[in-house]
Amino acid sequence: MRLKAGKTDKTEKRQPDSKTQTSKNSRKNNREFTVITYAVLVLFVCMMGYFAYFQFVKSEDFINSPYNKRQDLFARKVTRGEIISADGRILAETITDTDGTETRYYPYANMFAHVVGFSTNGKSGLESIANFNLLRSHTMTLEKVVNELQGEKNIGDNVVTTLNYDLQDTAYEALGKYDGAIVVMEPSTGKILAMVSKPDYDPNNIAEDWDELTAEDSESSVLLNRATQGLYPPGSVFKIFTTLEYVHENSDYEDYSFDCNGKFTEGDSVIHCYKNKRHGQEDLIGSFADSCNSSFASLGLTLNPDSFTELCDSMLFNTSLPLRFESSKSSFSLDADADVSTVLETSIGQGKTLVTPMHMALVVSAIANDGVLMNPYLIDHTENYNGIVVDAYEPTEYGTLLSTEDASLMQTFMREVVEDGTGERLSGQSYTAAGKTGTAEFSTSSKASHAWFVGYAHREDKEDIAVAVIVEDSGSGSEYAVPIAKKIFDAYYQYWLHEKTKSIILITKNHIRRYCNDRGNKLWWCGNIPW
């Protein structure tokens, strides 16, 4: 059959051009190659990022991990170094017997137990976080070679801490028979100057006492470092946060007024002032200085729960503290549908709110430092056994916890606590103190309370010092915690004139002692030094 001109058979298929088909295949292959290339590149970048993160952020954690088998290798070749206070006191050292047996010795026993820790039956405290530093040796190369040829160990590096012996001793003795915790810091740098936790233990006897210390039926939790891990109801020290939130929500806060008759009632809920004291007419700063529960319960009802929660979260609640020590998270929660009783209790630091002493020390440090929080640290530097510095640690900023204006306001409010409030025992000193007391109920079946004081002291000739004190099962903050804070402040300013002289003497004496010990005290003058 013949087809008409200009028409084609619909069944006839057009054959693809070979060049066109090749071009399409090429483009397809190029796209696949590009995708694979980018995928490999992304994977490479992720791997490099992880390696960088591991190297600069997590390496020390891995090195100091008890599961790192390289530690055993180090320990076989290196005698563990010393842990030394900022003023030259040896807090931990390794004593080697004539038969080569090594014993870790803690000269001050219980006093530094939780902060220095132990290195037997596991590790804790500085013995844990500085483990790598103590097991590496920067002994001179020639000396290392000689020691290895003779089959002798090299001497590990020493860790020089920020801890001040006088302040640690003062805090430890001031806490006395009570359980509790004390943290002392330098707000401008973040240096931890003292850290005490009771009940305590003797790290020299950790192996012998281990079963008793870890017994399941033990209620004392002796090994728990209460300074960083203890969670307590904050009581009235929480009014720092309640005050800040009220100020944020009320620009006319200076006009605040409340008439206190000793208690505040809302529906079926009743909040009492301490010992039902009638404070009378109070403004906001007066309510804070007198720690008026009734006033704070009243203003707490007016606060926005979401905004309050946001403020507390920004002040380190519900988050890990910037601390290498093992620590607990402080907790705060206030739902929009919370009942009246919960709101009232939360506003005065009771209810479900829990804090650690370290957390409160960081908050008052930021207030004293005009709102800026410095990262807390315990290691000043490491040095070899000859005293040559290997690594030095410099202060670093964590960030701004509160604005300069808020910090200034809280400084004013906290000074009023000392000048005309519950912290009057700190007034009239050679330094200017500021702070907040707290009396925290912890049991509905007991009338006893935890005593709190958090605050700082200032004098022009020396760095500020911040403290957080909690005395368990004692009484009011003004009666039990404030006197402890005063002893610490007094010691800090009283001993300052002699610190540098004492440090030089102690450091020199310790270096000479180590020199003699390394040589078996065979030099005639070693025995004539008054150790």
pLDDT band at 499 (very low <50, low <70, confident <90, very high): very low
Q: Are 355 and 240 in contact (CB under 8 A)?
A: no
Instruction: Point out the least confidently predicted range of 65-69, 377-381, 497-501.
Output: 497-501
DSSP string of 24-76? HHHHHHHHHHHHHHHHHHHHHHHHHHHHHHIIIIIHHHHHT-TT-THHHHHHH
User: Is the pLDDT at 285 greater than 80, yes or no?
Assistant: yes
Question: What is the H or E stretch that residue 166 is in?
Answer: helix 165-175
In the chain, the percentage of residues whose pLDDT exceeds 90 is: 69
pLDDT number for residue 28: 60
pLDDT value for 215: 86
pLDDT at 498: 47
Which structure tokens are listed for 245? 């939130």
In this prediction, residue 354 carries a pLDDT of: 97
Q: Is the pLDDT of residue 199 over 50?
A: yes
Going by C-beta distance under 8 Å and a sequence separation of 6 or more, which residues neighbour residue 410?
240, 243, 244, 367, 402
Give pLDDT, residue 409. 98
pLDDT at 230 (0 to 100): 97
Give the pLDDT mean for 382-406: 95
Dump pLDDT digits (tens) for 100-155.
899 999 999 999 999 999 998 889 999 999 999 999 988 776 777 776 767 678 89
Give me the pLDDT at residue 508, please. 55
Taking Cα atoms as reference points, which of 488, 452, 385 lies closest to residue 167?
488
- pLDDT class for 515, splitting at 50, 70, 90? low
- Please give the Cα distance from 516 to 512 (Å, whole number): 6
Provide mean pLDDT across the span 12-28. Answer: 57
pLDDT at 39: 77
Of 25-29, 137-141, 314-318, 430-434, the range with the lowest mean pLDDT is 25-29
Place of tokens 């039902």: 276
3-state secondary structure of 479: helix
Q: Higher pLDDT residue, 250 or 214?
A: 250
Query: What integer is the mean pLDDT of 1-20?
Result: 51
What pLDDT score does 143 carry? 72
Q: Average pLDDT in the 393-420 region?
A: 97
Flag whether pLDDT at 4 surpasses 70. Answer: no
pLDDT in tens, 226-278: 999 999 999 999 999 999 999 999 999 999 999 999 999 999 999 999 999 99
pTM here? 0.82
For 141-179, how does the pLDDT look when each residue is reduced to its tens digit (9 = 90+)? 677 777 676 767 889 999 999 999 999 999 999 999 999
Residue 238 near residue 348, CB atoms below 8 Å: yes
Mean of the per-residue pLDDT values of the chain: 87
> Please, which pLDDT band fits residue 391 given cuts at 50, 70 and 90?
very high
Res 66 pLDDT > 60? no
Q: What's residue 139's pLDDT? A: 79
Identify the CA nearest to 408 among candidates 377, 370, 434. 370
- What's the average model confidence in pLDDT over 206-228? 88
Q: Which of 361, 243, 253, 360 is nearest to 292 (CA)?
A: 243
Residue 518 pLDDT grade (very low, low, confident, very high; cuts 50, 70, 90): low
Give the rounded percent of residues in the chain with a pLDDT score beyond 70. Answer: 79
Q: Decide if pLDDT at 31 tops 90.
A: no
Asked whether the beta carbons of 90 and 112 are under 8 A apart, the reply is no
Contacts of 477 (CB under 8 A, 6+ apart): 235, 236, 237, 422, 437, 438, 439, 451, 452, 453
